[in-house]
Each structure stands twice: as C-alpha cells, then as structure tokens.
Amino acid sequence: MDLLKTFVLFALTALAEIVGCYLPYLWLRQGRSAWLLVPAAASLALFAWLLTLHPTAAGRVYAAYGGVYIGVAMVWLMAVEKVRPTATDWLGVAVCFVGMAIIMTGSRAAP
C-alpha cells in the first residue's frame, strides 16, 4: 500500500508542476493574461511542498518522481492538449514506471 500512496503523491506532485509550467506557457506563447502567473507560482509552490512529503532521501525522491512525471505528462497531452500519444510514448512511460518502482522498492544500503 505504501507504493500506491507514493505513486498517488507523485502524480499529484507532477500535476502541480505541469500546471505551474503550463500557465506561463499560455501567457508567453499564446498571448494569454499575465495574471496566469499568479496561479502558476502557487502551483509551483505546491509542487515544491509536495516533494517534501516523501519520507526518503531527496535525490531518490527526485529520481523516482521523474518517471511518474513522464506518465502524468502523457495523460496531460491527451486530456488538455488533445494529442494522442503513440504506442512508443506509452512504452516509454511503462519503462519509466518500472524504473520508478525499482528505485522506490530497492534495498537501502546502511549509511
């Protein structure tokens, strides 16, 4: 159950990061209001805070989080940008999830 809890926390963290980066993109590349920078900053602050909730070493968290981020980015691609990921996109996500699982469940050497 800890792996599922960690995965959900990673997914929420990824969503906060993507929103925090997507809103400035809308402002800079699509001419939207600069006011989008306010929720973008809040979303990025939430992202940083969510990363602190993980009980393991920061470097390990960032490494494992990267795999989940890739998966959430593909879902974002479909849901928000209306672009259909390819089979190789999904294969890459699967490889990243396996890597994330290995990192998070692997043995830990004594300090």
Q: What is the DSSP string of 11-40?
A: HHHHHHHHHHHHHHHHHHHH---GGGHHHH
For residue 90, pLDDT over 70 is answered with yes
pTM over 0.75: yes
Alpha-carbon distance 60 to 35, whole Å?
A: 35
- Which residue from 5, 31, 20, 4 is spatially nearest to 73, judged by alpha carbons? 20
pLDDT band at 104 (very low <50, low <70, confident <90, very high): confident
For residue 32, pLDDT over 80 is answered with yes
Residue 27 · residue 34 · CB < 8 Å: yes
Average the pLDDT over 96-105 and give the result: 84
Alpha-carbon distance 29 to 55, whole Å?
A: 37
